[in-house]
Amino acid sequence: MKSLSYGLILISLVSIACKEDKNVKPTHNWTKQQSIQMNSGFSEEEEDAINAYLKRRPDWKMTKTGTGLRYFIYNKSESKDSVFVGDQVVVSFSISLLDGTECYNSSKKGPETFVVDKTDIESGLHEAIKYLKLGDKARLILPSHLAHGLIGDQDKIPPLETVVYDIHLLNIISKDEN
């Protein structure tokens, strides 16, 4: 009888402990302004890191766009063939972090093909490829918001990381030819 009483008491305590208290309020109300300030802080830190990276590479004559993308075409081809939205492009590339860690390299898997502004890849790459002509080689710096953002690529690129591309535009297949 005693063990039955203890069992009932234990069950009662567990059920009381597991009840949700609907009157508990969060200890911190996160405001939109606080989110903006936090993101601004991330952006400033990232901008400082990119600037420090470029200071160590004075021969990289980067152009910065309004989105924060930086690009430098270091080997311009004689081609007049430009890239337009909807074109299919073939590129070889390497992707690294600002600390020099190589994340991906197409020499291991072969060139990549994607449709400009239609394929689910980094928005910064879509933006940058439209500055290139067939045969151009360029270096790109994509801040995290143009690369893999808050979660990274969940493989080799960590969250909130700037990525550096070395890219070669190998082929353009016009959207009219697709």
Convert the pLDDT of each residue in 117-160 to its tens digit: 999 999 999 999 999 999 999 999 999 999 999 899 999 999 99
Enter the pTM of the model: 0.79
Q: How far apart are CA 92 and CA 57, in angstroms?
A: 22
- Residue 40 pLDDT level (bands cut at 50, 70, 90): confident
- Measured torsion, CA atoms of residues 87, 92, 97, 102, in degrees rounded to the nearest 10: 150
Domains of the chain (ranges; CATH) run 60-178 (3.10.50.40)
Over pLDDT 90: what percentage of the chain? Answer: 72
The DSSP call for residue 66 is T
